[in-house]
Chains A and B, each alone.
Chain A
Amino acid sequence: MLGDTDDALVQQVARGDRLAFARLVERHGGRLMALAVRIVGSRAVAEEIVQETFTRAWIAAPKWQHKSGSARAFSAWLSRVATNLAIDQVRKPAAVPIEASPEPADPATDAVDALIAGEKLARLRAALAGLPPRQRAAIALTYDQGLSNIEGAAALETSVGAFELLLVRARRALRAAMTEDEA
């Protein structure tokens, strides 16, 4: 049914329909939030990124209806914008390092930490924080968003080969960190 597709909602947003916009935010905001948190390491900053992403979506909607094509085009566009904003944020000289800005206490996360012996998780988080932003984004797009290499490459506006290389390097660094943990 066309009425509930992203493209149909974007067309309504283009006409100023705030309810349609709210539906798009609700539909995609959560995964964009998870993506941004993984890259920037802070929920507060991630929420700003999600908001900026949707601000751009609202502005771009009138133009979007002329160039949309595939069913996931809008979703992919959102991922691309959020990823780029998050990477830009991490690259800012004044950006607070991930390790220095722990997330607010989250009961679910605390329970997980306890279950899997938080030391290992801390090691992984530190290793993630040490990755270059684009490698971190590749990990988030693959593991958290479940994107294929083709979709991940599109989100990072790079070739599939370059995306795979980012993933290989990221995995190597994370594996090395966890191997040290074993030693």
Chain B
Amino acid sequence: MSDEEFFSLLDERGADLAGWPVHLREDAAALLERSARARAGLKAMQDVDSLLALSAPAPHFDANGVAARATRQSQASRSIMSPAVRKLSFAAAGALSLAAGILVGMTPPSGTAIVGSVQMALNGGSNDVW
């Protein structure tokens, strides 16, 4: 294993060599014995890991304030109808549409329409001559 190969593995897998596959770990250990540059690279990556852990941003924040402001800001964007009411509205609209369709279907055609239909039938499907 060369220094460059070791650095590539460091960038891919991090500085915790215990998590590397056994054969890579053994090659890395051999390299670290003989290469000061590899040791410096490993030390740098270990520093990165530990400094990132130590400098993790504190999670504290004003939870109550955030919750209150978020609901206040978004109140206008949120429909005033609850999901249940919305479902009922959709169902009512659907039922009304269905009833209207049935009503229209049951209504007999007007007299003029009947005359037109008979004339079209007598004329073999075309009413051009009329």
A26 interface neighbour in B51, B63, B79, Cβ under 8 Å: B63
Interface segment among B6-14, B17-25, B90-98, B100-108: the answer is: B6-14
Q: Are B57 and A59 in contact (CB under 8 A)?
A: no
Give the distance in Å from the alpha carbon of A51 to the alpha carbon of B66 in the complex: 5
**Using Cβ atoms and an 8 Å threshold, which residues of chain A touch B60?**
30, 33
**Using Cβ atoms and an 8 Å threshold, which residues of chain B touch A168?**
11-12
CB of A141 closer than 8 Å to a CB of B: no
Q: For chains A and B in complex, what number of residue pairs have CB atoms within 8 angstroms?
A: 134
Give the distance in Å from the alpha carbon of A59 to the alpha carbon of B74 in the complex: 6
Q: What does the 1/0 interface line of B34-59 toward A look like (CB < 8 Å)?
A: 00000011011101111111111111
Given A58-B78, A182-B44: A144 touches B57 (CB 8 Å cut-off): yes
CB of A80 closer than 8 Å to a CB of B: no
Q: Are A14 and B83 in contact (CB under 8 A)?
A: yes
CB of A74 closer than 8 Å to a CB of B: no
Q: Are A109 and B58 in contact (CB under 8 A)?
A: yes
Give the distance in Å from the alpha carbon of A31 to the alpha carbon of B58 in the complex: 9
Q: Are B82 and A58 in contact (CB under 8 A)?
A: no
Q: What does the 1/0 interface line of A161-183 toward B look like (CB < 8 Å)?
A: 00010001101101110110110
CB of B73 closer than 8 Å to a CB of A: yes
Q: Are B83 and A15 in contact (CB under 8 A)?
A: yes
For B, the interface residue count at a CB cutoff of 8 angstroms equals: 40
**Using Cβ atoms and an 8 Å threshold, which residues of chain B touch A160?**
none
With both chains docked as a complex, state the minimum distance between the C-beta of A63 and any C-beta of chain B, in angstroms: 9
With both chains docked as a complex, state the minimum distance between the C-beta of B27 and any C-beta of chain A, in angstroms: 19
Q: Of residues 16 to 30 in A, which have CB atoms within 8 Å of B's CB atoms?
A: 16, 18, 21-22, 25-26, 29-30
Q: Are B78 and A59 in contact (CB under 8 A)?
A: yes
Give the distance in Å from the alpha carbon of A176 to the alpha carbon of B47 in the complex: 11
With both chains docked as a complex, state the minimum distance between the C-beta of B40 and any C-beta of chain A, in angstroms: 6
Q: Are B66 and A29 in contact (CB under 8 A)?
A: yes
CB of B61 closer than 8 Å to a CB of A: yes
Q: Are A47 and B61 in contact (CB under 8 A)?
A: yes
CB of B70 closer than 8 Å to a CB of A: yes
Question: CB-nearest residue of chain B relative to A25?
Answer: B67
Please name 23 pairs of A and B residues whose Cβ atoms are closer than 8 Å in the assembled complex, sorted by A: A15-B82, A18-B67, A21-B71, A22-B64, A25-B66, A30-B61, A31-B59, A33-B61, A43-B57, A43-B61, A50-B66, A58-B78, A103-B57, A109-B58, A143-B52, A169-B11, A175-B41, A175-B45, A175-B48, A178-B45, A179-B40, A179-B44, A182-B44
Please report B residues at the A interface, Cβ cutoff 8 Å: 7, 10-12, 14, 40-41, 43-45, 47-64, 66-67, 69-71, 73-74, 77-79, 82-83
Sorted from nearest, which 3 A-B pairs have the closest CB atoms? Answer: A30-B59, A37-B57, A178-B44
